[in-house]
């Protein structure tokens, strides 16, 4: 199974927050990946994981105002410069094994712990 991480609606203000310091997204990615790792340990046939979305893109309902990307795109500039958000830096470090996720103590949004 391949997992596509769906963007979490972070609330009206956070969804349109253009900041590169996206701590909420880092927490969400960590929890999502931790759950996938826990499922893998429990026998799920997880083969891959994809982050949504690599870049800020045009969103059907919110246009260019929604900020789902782990890379910020400046749509006001003609060359559309890109800048990595904190979540891009965190994900890169995770992929390089520089940081880990402690799934033993990970708690889901519902308050239950991920099973071993």
Comparing 13-17, 45-49, 53-57, the range with the smallest average pLDDT is 13-17
Q: What is the pLDDT of residue 9?
A: 56
How far apart CA 77 and CA 72 sit, in angstroms, is 12
Question: For residue 57, is pLDDT > 90?
Answer: no
Question: For residue 88, is pLDDT > 60?
Answer: yes
The larger pLDDT score, comparing residue 40 to residue 107, is at 40
How far apart CA 23 and CA 28 sit, in angstroms, is 9
């Amino acid at each position: 199974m391949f997992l596509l991480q769906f963007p979490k609606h972070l609330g009206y203000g956070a969804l349109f927050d253009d900041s590169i310091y996206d701590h909420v997204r880092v927490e969400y990615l960590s929890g999502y990946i931790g759950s996938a790792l826990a499922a893998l340990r429990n026998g799920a046939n997880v083969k891959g994981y994809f982050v949504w979305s690599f870049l800020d893109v045009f969103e059907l309902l919110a246009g260019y105002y929604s900020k789902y990307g782990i890379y910020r795109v400046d749509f006001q500039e003609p060359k559309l410069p890109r800048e990595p958000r904190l979540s891009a830096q965190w994900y890169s470090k995770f992929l390089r094994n520089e940081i880990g996720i402690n799934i033993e103590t990970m708690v889901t949004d519902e308050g239950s712990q991920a099973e071993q």
